[in-house]
């Protein structure tokens, strides 16, 4: 099984005629992702990659029945692109762009509140359900269908986590890159709730990093659960000097007083299995899921 996307998800691409979108949508189509159309204002009525192109998300949804979107649009256009998705009531939107202005992200967060749309990103590699759907830029060749969920705040280390599951002889149910920016859409808690409810996810790998309070909220949520699946964690950033300012909102709020060790302690206290090296994850998985 999977969370958020599967082979039946009908995917739109916003900005489909751009260079990066063309490259990655072609790969997603080759992977078997059910991409049903694209949106590029002013190019409606044309075809691209064998798919119909529309001027607006609303037109595309009416014509194709799409329920998800992956957007390859410049950061300055993300706010308006997300607004279209929310108004069209899609279930999911994935935003690859980095550097989305904070003011725009605050407005986006307000749009999403109370809507049916979930946002992954911005500044994310996206989401992949191996063998079923790829929304984003994940290197699809390293993934294998399986029963380990992965959720990560670090784009590059997401790939390392995937490789660790492979070393353990396991595949992945769904892999999510939450995004590296200061403000993002769904967080660890949202992803863990979905993985905990998925009958075909046996364990979760969680990759955190220095900055913000996302890991502490995840630990608090996990500690509150009565029935829970194993969660294996790694938090990057031990090599960064304590008090180093890296710009996350959580650092501003806490004045830089949440260290990597603080995050590890909170997660360990909640019952998560915390590793000191990402290369240890496969050994832990072998012990807990065989």
Reported as a pLDDT band with limits 50, 70 and 90, residue 274 is very high
Shortest CA distance to 157 belongs to which of 247, 234, 251? 234
What confidence score (pLDDT) does residue 246 get? 46
Mean pLDDT of the chain: 93
108, part of any domain: yes
Q: Is 96 found in the same domain as 156? A: no
Q: Is residue 241 predicted with pLDDT exceeding 70?
A: no
Q: Is 220 found in the same domain as 86? A: no
Q: What's the whole-model pTM score?
A: 0.93
Shortest CA distance to 92 belongs to which of 56, 68, 121, 64? 68
Q: Is 159 found in the same domain as 284? A: yes
Q: Is 272 found in the same domain as 151? A: yes
Q: Is 182 found in the same domain as 101? A: no
| Residue 199 burial class via C-beta count within 10 angstroms: exposed 0-12, middle 13-18, buried 19 and up | exposed
Strand 172-177 with 126-129, pairing: antiparallel
At 47-72, the pLDDT tens digits run: 999 999 999 999 999 999 999 999 99
**What sign has the CA pseudo-torsion 205, 207, 208, 213?**
negative
What confidence score (pLDDT) does residue 237 get? 77
At 136-151, the pLDDT tens digits run: 999 999 999 999 999 9
At 167-206, the pLDDT tens digits run: 999 999 999 999 988 899 999 999 999 999 999 999 999 9
Let me know: does 5 contact 62? Beta carbons within 8 Å.
no
Let me know: does 208 contact 192? Beta carbons within 8 Å.
no
Q: Is 287 found in the same domain as 158? A: yes
> How far apart (Å, rounded) are the C-alpha atoms in residues 141 and 260?
32
Mean pLDDT of 202-228: 94
Q: Is 148 found in the same domain as 288? A: yes
Q: Is 161 found in the same domain as 101? A: no
How many domains are there within the chain?
Answer: 2
What confidence score (pLDDT) does residue 239 get? 53
Query: Residue 111 belongs to a domain with what CATH number?
Result: 3.40.50.720
Instruction: Using the CB atoms, write b or e for 97-119: b if 16+ within 10 Å.
Output: beebeeebbeebeebbeeeebbb
28, part of any domain: yes
Residue 73 domain boundaries? 1-123
139, part of any domain: no
What confidence score (pLDDT) does residue 180 get? 87
What confidence score (pLDDT) does residue 206 get? 98
Q: Is 198 found in the same domain as 249? A: yes
Q: Is 273 found in the same domain as 151? A: yes
Q: Is 73 found in the same domain as 201? A: no
Q: Which two three-digit tokens encode residue 252?
A: 């501003």
| CB neighbourhood size of 148 (10 A) | 28
Q: Is 207 found in the same domain as 113? A: no
Counting residues of the chain whose pLDDT is more than 70, the rounded percentage is: 92
Query: Residue 222 belongs to a domain with what CATH number?
Result: 3.40.50.261
132, part of any domain: no
98, part of any domain: yes
129, part of any domain: no
131, part of any domain: no
């Amino acid at each position: 099984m999977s969370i958020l996307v599967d082979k039946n998800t009908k995917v739109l691409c916003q900005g489909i005629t751009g260079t990066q979108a063309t490259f990655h949508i072609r790969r997603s189509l080759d992977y078997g992702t059910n991409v049903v159309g694209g949106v590029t204002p002013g190019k409606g009525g044309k075809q691209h990659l064998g798919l119909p192109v529309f001027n607006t998300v609303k037109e595309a949804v009416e014509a194709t029945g799409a329920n998800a979107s992956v957007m390859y649009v410049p950061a300055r256009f993300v706010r308006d692109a997300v607004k279209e998705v929310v108004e069209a009531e899609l279930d999911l939107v994935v935003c690859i762009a980095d550097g989305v202005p904070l003011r725009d992200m605050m407005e986006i967060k307000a749009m999403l509140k109370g809507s049916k749309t979930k946002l992954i990103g911005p500044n994310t590699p996206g989401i992949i359900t191996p063998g079923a759907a790829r929304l984003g830029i994940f290197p699809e060749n390293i993934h294998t269908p399986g029963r380990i969920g992965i959720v990560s705040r670090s784009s590059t280390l997401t790939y390392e986590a995937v490789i660790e599951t492979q070393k353990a002889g396991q595949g992945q149910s769904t892999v999510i890159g939450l995004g590296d920016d200061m403000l993002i859409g769904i967080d660890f808690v949202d992803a863990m709730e979905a993985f905990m409810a998925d009958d075909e996810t046996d364990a979760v790998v969680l990759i955190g990093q220095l900055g913000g309070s996302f890991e502490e909220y995840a630990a608090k949520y996990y500690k509150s659960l009565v029935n829970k699946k194993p969660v294996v964690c790694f938090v990057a950033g031990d090599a960064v000097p304590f008090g180093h300012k890296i710009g996350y909102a959580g650092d501003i709020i806490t004045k830089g007083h949440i260290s990597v060790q603080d995050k590890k302690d909170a997660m360990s206290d909640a019952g998560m299995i915390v590793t000191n090296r990402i290369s240890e994850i496969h050994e832990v998985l072998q012990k807990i899921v065989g």
